[in-house]
Structure formats: C-alpha cells, structure tokens
Amino acid sequence: MDSEELTLHLSSNKSKFFISIITIFTLVISLLGTSESYSQLRVDDRLEFYNVSKGDSFNSIFDDFYLHPIQKIFLKIYLKKNKLQVAQAGHYYLKNKSWKEFLNSVSNGDVVIFKFEIPSGKNLYEIKKIISESNFKNDCNNFDCLDNRFNFVEGTLKPETYFYKHSSSLASILQKSQTEFFQTASNLWDNKNPQLPIKNLSDAIILASIVEKEAGNNDEKPIIAGVFLHRMSIGMKLQADPTIIYGLLPNFNGDITKANLRDKNNSYNTYQIPGLPPTPISTVSKSSLEAVILGMKNDYLYFVAKGDGTHKFSKTYQEHLDAVNRYQLN
C-alpha cells in the first residue's frame, strides 16, 4: 500500500470513527430524550395511593405496575440520569401523577401527610366515626390504649388537628392527645379558684364538658360555668339537657321527652341525680376548662337559649319562666 492509499485508508477509518461517535452521541441523546418522554406518562389513574414498603426498590415498584420491559429500561435511564437511587418507604399520592413526579417523590420521601381532627364537644361515639373515616392503623380498639386514671377516657382527648403519616398508629396520636390534655388541665388545676365547690380535677373536667355542650360561644362559657357552680354551691341539681342526651346514646332520636326527664335509671340525668354525672360527656376545650377551674359562681341560676346562639340568664325562677315564654314558646 503506497502512501496515498494509506492516507485514504486512515482518512476513511477516521471518518468511520467520527460517524460512530456521532451515532452513539445521537443514540444517547435520543435515549435520554425518550426516557424523559416516558417519565412524563401517567403512572396509573386507577390508583389514588401507593405504598412503598421498607426494603422495596425501584425495580420492585416497576414490577408492581407490570411495565413493559422497554418502558422499564427508559425509566431506569431516567433514574440514572437524575441520580435517583433509593426508594423511601412510605405512602405516596399517585392520582394524576406522572412517573417523573412519582419517582422523585419516592426518592425524596415526600410521603402523604394526612389530617386528623378531634373537635371540641364531641363524644367517643362521634370520635369513633371520625377514626373509621381516617387512614389509621387502628391499634386502639375501643380506646383501650388510653390512660383511665379518672376511671374514664371520655373527655380526656385534647381537641386539636393532628397531622400524620400512613404508617402512624392510632394509639400514638390518641396518647399524644391525651397527654397534652392532662398537662393543660393539670396546669390549670394548680391555679384553681380556691372557692370552687369542686373537689378534684376529674370533677372539673366533667363539669367543663357540660359547659362545652351548653355554650354557644366562648364568651358565654364563664357565665354558664358560673350558673352551674352556683347551683352546686347551694345543692341544686344541675338540670343540664346535654347530660340526659349523653345517657341515651347511641340511641337518642333527637327529642328529650318528659319520660326522659323523669327517668331515674339514666345515671346521666342531672334532672334526677344530685351533683355531677359519672363521666364527661364530650371532649373539652381549654376555654371550657378555664371557665370552670378559674371561674366562680355568679348570681344567675337559670338560662334559656334565645335561638341565635346566645342565652338569656335569669336570677329567679319567675324571670326564667318569662324568658322561656319569650324565647321558646312564642
């Protein structure tokens, strides 16, 4: 081979080499672009959530969705390109998500955060319903995970909004709620009004739950608490409708009858029993606790709902009858 032929041969090889490089480069760019396109596809619109267990890999996730081998390849290229290596265990929102969004979430551990609210003025029957509609691992059946230091758990959960992950247990949240409630109630009890006609914190919680159910707004809570404290101080029955209703649960039909008022077998019927009912009748807000524990009796003995969320308070029974005629019978 003479020098001219050698030059042509080397030039040809060099051209083939550059063509190969360009071809490979083009292929890589094409693969990366295709992987990006695949990553924009929706995951699965039939599913709202997907749970990644501890030890799961991206490969096992792909297997769960029965992906075509070609799609797996392109999604793995996407993972490699974006340095997504480890799948974080947790519960992830999936609906309307692209593979790109889903894989980034799983890599970053952006799990779904759920909201669970314990409202004030709710009883355990109502809280059970709220729990049944939540995404909890229920490890607290019938509230048996809670501290019953007062021989009751009704009324000992702190009304609050709690945020939790899918893996959170119900017991951990309810125990946190109860611990915080006890701390609040105990701190208030340490600063109680020394003239209270109430012997202990458990009784204060019971009365506060009645105030919670009777009051239409926070402004009236100290006044309503003062009425009940006045009644207790003179040995008068509390005569609170919400206690009768609680004693009839879960079968209360919405109306208190004369028979209900006369029923001495209902241990929550404060028209018949002296003093407080055996347990609280609902969850209790801090404002209701304050109204009772820091409050004092007033001159009122009666009150009646005015129909606008407020009450008319009366010092004498005749004033009360006049108020009933005005606001309830007309």
pLDDT digits (tens, 9 = 90+) for 104-151: 999 999 998 888 899 999 999 999 999 988 877 788 988 999 999 999
Confidence of residue 326 (pLDDT cuts 50, 70, 90): very high
pLDDT digits (tens, 9 = 90+) for 216-240: 899 999 999 999 999 999 999 999 9
Q: For residue 23, is pLDDT > 60?
A: no
Q: For residue 22, is pLDDT > 90?
A: no
pLDDT digits (tens, 9 = 90+) for 150-186: 999 999 999 999 988 887 889 999 999 999 999 999 9
> What pTM value is reported for the model?
0.79
Q: For residue 26, is pLDDT > 70?
A: no
pLDDT score of 35: 54
Q: What is the mean pLDDT of the chain?
A: 88
Do 314 and 303 form a contact (C-beta atoms < 8 A)?
yes
Q: For residue 189, is pLDDT > 70?
A: yes
Confidence of residue 39 (pLDDT cuts 50, 70, 90): confident
Long-range interactions of 30-36: CB distance < 8 A, separation 24+: 31/74, 31/77, 32/77, 32/81, 34/74, 35/74, 35/75, 35/77, 35/78, 35/81, 36/78, 36/100
Q: For residue 25, is pLDDT > 50?
A: no
Provide DSSP, 123-158: -HHHHHHHHHTS--B---GGGTTS--TTS--TT-SP
Query: Which residue carries 């360009």 as its tokens?
Result: 22
pLDDT score of 166: 81
Confidence of residue 12 (pLDDT cuts 50, 70, 90): low
Q: For residue 19, is pLDDT > 90?
A: no
Rg of the chain over CA atoms, in angstroms?
34
Record the tokens describing residue 185, joined without a space.
């109630």
Q: For residue 258, is pLDDT > 90?
A: yes
Q: For residue 319, is pLDDT > 50?
A: yes
pLDDT score of 227: 97
Residue spans of the domains in the chain: they are 13-108, 124-185, 187-329
Do 305 and 224 form a contact (C-beta atoms < 8 A)?
no
